[in-house]
Chains A and B, each alone.
Chain A
Amino acid sequence: MSSASAGGTTRLGLLAEAGLLAVVAAGVLLDSRSYPGSLAEGAPGPAFFPRLLAVLLMACAAWLAIRAARQPPESDPGRSRGNVAPGAGAGRGARLALGAAWIAVFLLAWPRLGTVLSVPLLVAGLMWLTGERSRLALIAVPLGFAAFIYLVFMVVLGVPLPSGF
C-alpha cells in the first residue's frame, strides 16, 4: 500500500491513480463491445452510458498524469518524511492485508461454521488487529456479541442467518 499511502500528493501517487483510472476505463470499453444494440430506433443502447463514463474517466486519468508531470519530483507537499519511521508504510500495508483477509476468511467460513461460531471469531480477530489487548475484553465482547446476534436476529426476529453444518 505504499503507493496508496502516498496517494494524491506525490508524483508517483498521482501517476498510480491515473494508471488505475485508465485501466478501469479501458476495461469498461472492452466489456461494452459485447452489449447488444438499442431496441428502439434513435435511442441510445446499453453501451452508450458506460462508454461515456469511460471516456470521461480517461480524460480524468490524462489530467492526473498532466498534474503529475507538472509536479517537480522532489517536492512532497504536506508530508514531512521525518515523521514516519522507516518501514512504517510496509507495516501498515501488511496490517491492512491481514484485516481484509480476516474478513474474507470469515465470509468463507460463515456458511460452513454457522453464525454463532464464526461471528465471535471475526470480532475477536479484528479486535486483536485493532490493538485490543485486554484478555477479558477479547473473550467477553465476542461471546456477548454472538449471544446478542443469536437471540435478537435468529430467535426473536427470525432472520434466516446461516446456521452451519
Chain B
Amino acid sequence: MAPGLAALALAGCSPAGEDAAFPSRAIEIVSWATPGGPTDLLSRALAEAAPPHFDGRRVTVMTRQGGAGAAGMQYLQGREGDPHVLGVFTASGTVNMATGRIPFSPGDFTPILRIQIDPFLVAVRDDSPFHTLGDLFEAAHARPGEVSVSGFGAASAHFLGFARLRAAADDPDVRWIAYEGSADAVVAALGGHTDAAHTNYNIVREHLRAGTMRVLGVALPVEALPETPSYAEQGYDLTPVHWRGVVGPPGLDPALRADLRARLTAAIEDPGFREYMEQAALEYATMADADAFGVWMAEEVATSRDMLRRLGILDE
C-alpha cells in the first residue's frame, strides 16, 4: 500500500486532534543519549535526512535525558499511537531493560527500523605482548586477576558483549575495569593502565590507522579491517554487536508503522545520511521487516538477562 493510501485508510482512528493525513505536523525525535555521542548523532543525522521523506515537515531532535534513558523513554511511551514522535533505541536500552534499571520492556514501544550495527572489538596498544584473543585469554588463565580489560560501563551492553566472549573462552579471570565512556576506556589502554580495551571500531579507527593500537579480534568482519580475524575465526562462536534503531510509541497502528518504516528506509538512503554512516564508520543493518526488529529486541533482553544471571549480577 502506498504511504498516502495507508494514511487515508487511517483517517478515522488516528489520535484525537490529528488530521487525516500523516504527517500532519512536525516530527519529533526524542533523544535520551549524551549530546555529541554516537546515538545522539544518529538522531541528528536522521533529523537532517528525513524532512523530504516526510512531506517536507520539520523534523526536530528533542533532548530528554535522565534516569538512564528512562526520562526520554517515558516521554515516548506517553505518546501512545502518535506517529509523530520517534526515538532511537540501542543495545544499551535493552540491557537496561534486562537489569531492571529502567521500568520498561520492548513491548512498551513499537519497533520500526533497525538502522546500524557497530561490532565490538578488543584493541591493545601497539607494544602489547598480545596478538590474538587467545594470547589474552591464555595469559588470564595463567595469571588470574592480573589481565585487565577496560570498557564502557558496568552491567552495560559493552560489558555483556565482553562477558559473552569471555564465557566462550572458558571464563578466565580477566578483570573488567569499567569507565564512564568508551573513549575513556581506550585512553586507559593507550596509557598502559589496562591491558586491552573493549570498544567499537569508530572509537579506535584513527589509532589503528596511525599504528598506535592494534585489534586482537572483532565480533563481525569489518570492511575496513580485512586483516583482522573475527571472533568466529578465532574459535569463539558469537557475534556481539552494538546496534541502534528507530522505535515509535506503543500502540502504533500497523499501517502507520509500515508507512513510517518505508519513509525512514528512504531517508537513510539519502546521500547525506550515507555520508554520515561512512564518516562514523558504521554499517547498515536493517532487518527484513519491523517484526524481525521486535523479535531481535526481545532476544537481546533475554540473552542479556541470561548472561547477567550467569554472572550472579541478577538473581531470580
Contacts and interface: CB of A to CB of B under 8 A. Distances in A.
**Do A and B interact directly, with beta carbons closer than 8 Å?**
yes
A40 interface: yes
Chain B interface helix/strand/loop/mixed: strand
Contact of A160 (B60, B145, B176): B60
B145 A41 contact: yes
A4 B155 CA distance: 43
A41 B174 CA distance: 12
Interface residues of B, number: 8
B8 interface: no
Interface residues of A, number: 6
A39 B154 contact: yes
B63 interface: yes
B313 interface: yes
Interface string B172-194: 00011000000000000000000
Chain A interface helix/strand/loop/mixed: loop
Contacts of B60: 158, 160
Interface string B233-268: 000000000000000000000000000000000000
B145 A39 contact: no
Nearest to A37: B312
B176 A39 contact: yes
A109 to B, nearest CB: 18
B63 A160 contact: yes
A36 to B, nearest CB: 7
B62 interface: yes
A39 B175 CA distance: 8
A36 B145 CA distance: 19
A6 B258 CA distance: 67
Interface string A31-63: 000001001110000000000000000000000
Contacts of A39: 154, 176
A40 B175 contact: yes
A160 B31 CA distance: 11
10 contacts: A36-B313, A39-B154, A39-B176, A40-B145, A40-B175, A41-B145, A158-B60, A160-B60, A160-B62, A160-B63
Interface of A: 36, 39-41, 158, 160
Going nearest first, the 6 A-B pairs with the smallest beta carbon separation are A160-B62, A40-B175, A41-B145, A160-B63, A39-B176, A39-B154
